[in-house]
Chain A
Amino acid sequence: MALVRKDLRLELRTRETIVAMVLFAIVMLAILQFGFGTRDDDLTRFVGGLMWVTLAFTAVLGVGRSYVAEREQRVLDGLLVAPVPRTVMLTAKAIAIFLYMTVVEIVVIPLVGIFFVKGPYWDAIGWIAIAAVLANICIALSGTLFSGLALFTRARDLILPVLFLPALVPVVIAGAGATHAVAGGPHDMSEWRGYCLFLLAYAILFALVSVATYDAVFDD
């Protein structure tokens, strides 16, 4: 818990990561709108994709920052020497990433509705939020693992997206699918449930892989 508090306190003092992530997400949404090359206001059909592409790229940005303090201030050396089980470190990092993503989504999910949806959206926001929480767990777990791998490589800023984004594709597919199932029209709850179960399965699988391999990530 102290490790989570350390990450969050550091963040609250500087606010640099979270502010950058939120700004990045908003810019992304604007770029996507222009990228469609249309001044058509109603992008309801694409709302799942718009939301989750934005969130995936923002996640890469946030996850990439997540070990920076540790590396630059040599906190990591201290942590690794300290008698802290690696799984505790893993969990602390994952919780921090989870919270970052939650803050970003609190801004992005309503904003997507305002920007792109003409039609019923607000009654679906609870369902989208549930899917987002599940997706955040997935992002946090796989993000912690991959950023740990990328940490000591050359060109680490380049390596992380290359490792992390392909692993995120299933999350994007499921997140976008779940959003699409409930946004802007009649709710297709069985489809939504299918995608949420999938996200749950992803989270469990990556939790197992992370716990099993995390010891080896910091084994120097």
Chain B
Amino acid sequence: MTPSSTTDGPDRIPGQRAAVIWGVIATILVVVSTIGVFLVAPEDADQGIIQRIFYFHVAIAIASLVAFAVACVAGIIYLRTRSVRWDDVGEASIRIGLLFSVLVVITGSIWAKASWGTWWVWSDPRLVTYLIVVLIYAAYFVLRSSAEDDRKMRYSAIYAIAGFASVPLSFYSVRVAESFVHPVVFTSGGANMPGTMLWWFVVSQVAMIALFIALLEVDLLGRRSERALRRLAMRLESA
């Protein structure tokens, strides 16, 4: 090891600072939005306390779509540049997006139990769509684990693109000629809720997207340090 790297701490992994900054931002926003949602936002006259799950349910859903969009774009860039970095971004995004969509299904199911009395409602298009989305992206990891190296990254990139193409299809397919039992909050005419609720919704939405970015940065940092560690081990072995 060279003396310069010991004084400067061990080789600094790029992105460490970004991970810390986003981690702090996400933590603050999540705490603020949780407090706001439970203590400040007005209680829904119709649904009572359970309506507060909406702030998380919808915010996580949109954040997961953002994650899948990021993975799709990363896939396109990977296919053009063949740079491992973009494969990392794609996989990390899908991992977080999948986690978020599982949470969407769980929170949706809890909400369904509270307002319709059953854990699962097949006639609710959005809940069903998310189940399909979870299945689509769970398959991504099956594909990834069964291919090697360059092929693995290529196939993952293609599947991330094709998967993101099937997301809107799933959304529409369960909606054609569906009865809408789902509370439709956002219509093309604008948001269907009072101002303070909208405000807290925006806060929790921003919090969830910040959480996504923070998790992404931490995940990428983990990968980078792992690679750096492996390089170091190789260097030690050859020395």
A residues near B, CB below 8 A? 142, 145-146, 149-150, 152-156, 159, 162-163, 166-167, 169-170, 173-174, 177, 181, 191, 194-195, 198, 201-202, 205-206, 208-209, 212-213, 216-217, 219-220
Contacts and interface: CB of A to CB of B under 8 A. Distances in A.
Contact of B166 (A150, A153, A166): A166
Sorting the interface of chain B by its residue count into under 10, 10 to 19, 20 to 34 or 35 or more gives: 20 to 34
B28 interface: no
Contacts of A150: 143
Interface of B: 79, 132, 135-136, 139, 142-143, 146-147, 150-151, 154-155, 157-159, 161-163, 165-166, 168-170, 172-174, 176-177
Nearest to A191: B177
Contacts of B136: 166-167
B159 A170 contact: no
Contacts, number: 94
Contact of B165 (A155, A162, A206): A206
B142 A162 contact: yes
A80 B87 CA distance: 25
Contact of A159 (B143, B157, B174): B143
A213 B176 contact: no
Nearest to A167: B166
Most chain A beta carbons < 10 A, residue from B136, B139, B158, B174: B158
A145 B165 CA distance: 13
A150 to B, nearest CB: 8
A219 B176 CA distance: 38
Contact of A219 (B132, B154, B174): B154
**What are the nearest 7 A-B pairs in CB distance?**
A170-B173, A166-B135, A153-B146, A173-B173, A154-B146, A166-B136, A213-B158
Contacts of B168: 205
B78 to A, nearest CB: 9
Nearest to B155: A149
B169 A209 contact: no
A159 B172 contact: no
A209 B172 contact: no
Given A152-B147, A162-B142, A213 B173 contact: no
Given A166-B136, A202-B169, A213 B177 contact: no
A142 B155 CA distance: 14
Contacts of B79: 213, 216
